[in-house]
Structure 1
Amino acid sequence: MNSHYPKNGRVILHVDMNSFYASVEMAYDPSLKGKPLAIAGNPKERKGIIVTCSYEARSFGVKTTMPLWEARKLCPNLIIKTPNFDRYRAASKGMFDILRQYSDLVEPVSIDEGYMDITDSYEKETPLEIASSIQTQINSQLDLPCSIGIAPNKFLAKTASDMKKPMGITVLRKRDIPMKLWPLPVIEMHGVGSKTAEKLNTLGIETCKDLAKANDIQLKSLLGINGLRLKERANGIDRRVVDPDSIYDYKSVGNSTTLPKDTTNQSELLSIIDKLCGKVSQRLTQKDVVGTTVQIMIRDKFRKTITRSRKVENPVIKKEELFHHSKELFIKHWNGDPVRLLGVTVQDLIEKNEATEQLDLFSYESAAQKEPLYNVLSQLQEKFGKNSISKGVRGKDKGPSYHSKQDTSFNKDFLRD
């Protein structure tokens, strides 16, 4: 089996579930199989946007993010299901449990996709045999289809998994790049969005080959260090390792909600912000982290979105502190136009027990009163261990609640138990 594995490189798989939410619903209710199915929000709350749809629906032109009314116009027989995140989370956990049967190096990147490093599996099967076994097992045990990319690094594995859907297995080697990757329009390259593609087009970069051969100085001037990184990707270079622990990395915690109707009622808008702050505070507490930057997002009826943030002197976690900063940001930057969507996010997160409060004139007195307690805690922790005792009760991290209709934050904490 050694001949199927590189002597010095890695063998990476990217497993991507096909039309995941719709497929889960079909597995739960087999009568939906073979029918045009879409998962969408509640149209009464103006969240009638297609989240995902079956391949049968796609044949009618139905696409992700398409308004529900437009999808129904294209496909009158479209079956609509509202999201059931508990169901999807359970299916996701089952999928990753299967992947870990083949390798300890499994890195979830979202609820329906992940990377695997199978380099050390050369004594078992070939990469193609392993990919085929994974695909078959997920399909037979969970009744869910997936596509798998096989490559020497993450970028090429991700690119490969997109090349054949549904139920595809694609191998993409570096020697295949000129034939399989370079002819593609640059916007189809993983990591290049529409705005980045437009910027690249201004330099005459239309294809992945153009990007692979682009001038370094021009790319860096246009896109900064990310421009050079994208050029490396276009040449098949990606040094990132498969990191199972990256699922526990948090960069931000946020919540946003689309309002039932556009409004200019400031009292109503502030009430919504207050509720969002409560949800964010709850998730910060669950993760035992605090943040040093507060950001507010405002989208008006014309779909123009502004985000404004501020660095705070003392790390925030409590709802009251978060609302104080969010309210000031909103009042300062809202221009009075009817608001369609509001969001609150806390960024630059750090572990709560590593945060150091910057005492000011107003917090010094209350903090000083607690100093004897802190001294006792410190002595006990020093004697019996860091986690032996702490202020309050540290609850078990249950992860985010997907029951909330207002929770639109999807990050890698979906597998937290």
Structure 2
Amino acid sequence: MPVAKPEASDSRVIAHIDMDCFYVQVEQRKHPQLRGLPTAVVQYNSWKGGGLIAVSYEARNYGVKRSMRGDEAKEVCPEIQLVQVPVARGKADLNTYREAGSQVVSILARRGRCERSSIDEVYLDLTDAAERMLTETSPHSLETIIEEALKSHVLGITSREDGIDVKEKVREWLCKSDADRRDKLLACGVLIVADLRMQVLQETQFTCSAGIAHNKMLAKLASAMNKPAQQTAVPFSSVKGLLESFPIKKMKQLGGKLGSSLQTDLGVNTVGDLWQFSEGKLQERYGINTGWLFIVILHSI
């Protein structure tokens, strides 16, 4: 049987919350004297100073990278503070970081359904919360908008042109009363995430970055675009521009033989390249089920 065509997902509001240098932040909360200093957290084994698993932005400015060992990091940045992961029964004990991550999740869960991706990453489905806000307190009816929301990056909206007040452009986008429903829901998501990020900071002392979009893949891409302690939204109208040059092999389900076949047989290297082929052409070349799979993947973007 052919793969069923999916329902449109562009009315969903999904956030990807990514904690900034989380292991470092946890150690800095325990040891406030480390704040502002180049710092790295290292694995429990001591070979060449241990393997770095988190590097503060201050240390990154000196050229310290996660691929380094502790001794190498000291050569690059003699001032670096190396903090060792706790050890229990000869193995790394990550409970401190897991518990800190759970504190963050408990705050995020106040507004949506959480799916933990790792100790320091969470997907948050805000669709219901955005729907409620749109019905009860739509952004265009708000007299004031919190500063953190106005600092958001909105793809396709916040280009930094000379003489343009970027925050004012964000305000106009958030409050646009004649925007289509997808953008209105996304605007609600931007306001909700900004508020949640401030709650996380106030209650845990941790900063985080976020991406807000209509699906998980786009939200994750967006959360990495502006770090640390910032958030990025992807309106539906900006999706094509964002993904046109995106490598096809990085797409979910296309990282293996199927993606390699697209590259070899059709010269498809990016999502933009795949968009050039019709549904019929893909089904003719790969069969009904696999051809449908490509359509499903692109439809879910």
Pick the TM interval, shorter chain: 0.5 to 0.7
Shift of residue 192 of structure 1?
A: 7.6
Tell whether 2:58 aligns with 1:18.
no
* CA–CA distance in structure 2, aligned partners of residues 39 and 194 of structure 1: 33
Write the letter of the residue equivalent to 1:164. N
The equivalent of 1:181 in structure 2 is 243
The equivalent of 2:141 in structure 1 is none
* CA–CA distance in structure 2, aligned partners of residues 80 and 211 of structure 1: 46
Tell whether 2:123 aligns with 1:115.
yes
- Matched residue count: 228
Q: Secondary structure at the match of 1:123?
A: helix
The equivalent of 1:81 in structure 2 is 83
With normalisation by structure 2, the TM-score equals 0.63
* CA–CA distance in structure 2, aligned partners of residues 41 and 19 of structure 1: 15
After superposition, the Cα gap between the structure-2 partners of 1:211 and 1:72, relative to the gap in structure 1 and judged at 3 Å, is: farther
Richer in helix (by share): 2
C-alpha deviations, 1:252-304, integer Å up to 9, x for none?
xxxxxxxxxxxxxxxxxxxxxxxxxxxxxxxxxxxxxxxxxxxxxxxxxxxxx
Q: How does 1:64-75 map to 2 (within 5 A)?
A: 64-75=66-77
Tell whether 2:116 aligns with 1:53.
no
With normalisation by structure 1, the TM-score equals 0.47
Richer in strand (by share): 1
The equivalent of 2:202 in structure 1 is 140
After superposition, the Cα gap between the structure-2 partners of 1:74 and 1:138, relative to the gap in structure 1 and judged at 3 Å, is: same
Q: Secondary structure at the match of 2:37?
A: coil
The equivalent of 1:102 in structure 2 is 111
Shift of residue 64 of structure 1?
A: 2.2
Residue in structure 1 matching 2:233, options 159, 171, 190? 171
The equivalent of 1:91 in structure 2 is 100
Tell whether 2:161 aligns with 1:159.
no
Asked if the contact 1:174–1:236 (Cα under 8 Å) also holds between the matched residues in 2, the reply is no
The equivalent of 1:209 in structure 2 is 272
> Which structure has the greater CA radius of gyration?
1
C-alpha deviations, 1:237-263, integer Å up to 9, x for none?
15xxxxxxxxxxxxxxxxxxxxxxxxx
Shift of residue 132 of structure 1?
A: 0.5
After superposition, the Cα gap between the structure-2 partners of 1:47 and 1:196, relative to the gap in structure 1 and judged at 3 Å, is: farther
Greater relative contact order (CA < 8 Å, ≥ 6 in sequence)? 2
The equivalent of 2:144 in structure 1 is none
* CA–CA distance in structure 1, aligned partners of residues 123 and 76 of structure 2: 35
The equivalent of 1:412 in structure 2 is none
Asked if the contact 2:44–2:50 (Cα under 8 Å) also holds between the matched residues in 1, the reply is yes
Asked if the contact 1:35–1:56 (Cα under 8 Å) also holds between the matched residues in 2, the reply is yes
Shift of residue 8 of structure 1?
A: 7.6
Write the letter of the residue equivalent to 2:43. G
After superposition, the Cα gap between the structure-2 partners of 1:17 and 1:229, relative to the gap in structure 1 and judged at 3 Å, is: farther
Shift of residue 172 of structure 1?
A: 1.2
After superposition, the Cα gap between the structure-2 partners of 1:229 and 1:88, relative to the gap in structure 1 and judged at 3 Å, is: farther
Asked if the contact 1:53–1:63 (Cα under 8 Å) also holds between the matched residues in 2, the reply is yes
* CA–CA distance in structure 2, aligned partners of residues 219 and 169 of structure 1: 41
C-alpha deviations, 1:337-373, integer Å up to 9, x for none?
xxxxxxxxxxxxxxxxxxxxxxxxxxxxxxxxxxxxx
Name whichever of 58-67 and 169-178 sits farther off.
58-67
Shift of residue 59 of structure 1?
A: 1.9
C-alpha deviations, 1:116-147, integer Å up to 9, x for none?
21111133362111010111011111111111
Q: How does 1:233-382 map to 2 (within 5 A)?
A: 233=297, 235=298, 237=300
Shift of residue 91 of structure 1?
A: 0.8
The equivalent of 1:33 in structure 2 is 35
